[in-house]
Structure formats: C-alpha cells, structure tokens
A = this chain, B = another copy of it.
C-alpha cells in the first residue's frame, strides 16, 4: 500500500502533516543469529540467547528482545517509513509488545499521524504525535508505539 495522503513528497515539515495521514515502511527480516547477536550485547537473557534454553521459557522458543523490535522499527521509520525533513527525533512515548518477534519474521511498520501541534515558545518547530504499528508477515502486531516527535516548520 502507498501513503494515503501524500504523493512523491519525501521531506515533510510540520506544515505538511495532519491527523489521519498514513505512511508505510519497507519490510525487514530478522534471523535467529540477529536475535542472539543483539541479545548478547544488550539483553543477555536465556530466551533471547539460546534456542534450547528458550524452549523451556514462558515464550516456548527463541524470541527477540523487545528493544530489538524497537530498534528495527526505528530503522524502518528512518528508511522512508516516516519521511520527516529534520529526521525522526523522538522525545518519548508509549510502547507495548503484544507478542514477541521470532526468528524468520519479516517486519514492516504502518504509521498514522494522530496530532500536530505548533510550539508556542519556539516558532520554528512543533510536536507531532504518531502511532506506529509494527507487524510481522502474518499481519500480527509485534509492537505498538505512540511517539512524540520534534518536527521543524517549513522555513
């Protein structure tokens, strides 16, 4: 699917955004090796590191760290999934992982603009609230995020 409200524009400013606009990322795969490499560095727990040990865990198999799912989501947003002119600069948000990402999954992200608010004190910028849903190849949500982004106005 293509963005519903935009055509060709690749560098959006606050002035270009409005609630209801949707954006779609490319997709990216994740392997068992990817999962274990990320976990070794950032989240060394048995269910992220060792397929054998993971079968005895609450997940009944190897799963990616939620932070790995979050990092891949960011990669997809930066690679065209959210074409903001000054980049995807988040100040924070809410995140949930309804189900884990597993080896062999192929992830993509659908984003929807929820709110656009110009700054009262800084006339060159504003805050945009975006909901980004990360889904696997079966369309199941593996991450739901509502983020606040700092977005510049058109000069």
Q: Which positions in A face B, CB cutoff 8 Å?
A: 38, 41-47, 58, 65-67, 70-72, 74-75, 78-79, 86-97, 144, 150
Q: Which of A42, A79, A93 has the most CB of B within 10 A?
A: A42
Residue of B nearest to A70 (CB): B67
B150 touches A74 (CB 8 A): no
For A58, give its contact among B75, B90, B150 (CB under 8 Å): B150
A75 touches B45 (CB 8 A): no
Q: How far is the CA of A87 from the CA of B74 in the complex (A)?
A: 25
> Which of chain B's residues have a CB closer than 8 A to the CB of A78?
43-45
4 shortest A-B CB distances, which residue pairs? A92-B96, A42-B71, A45-B87, A67-B71
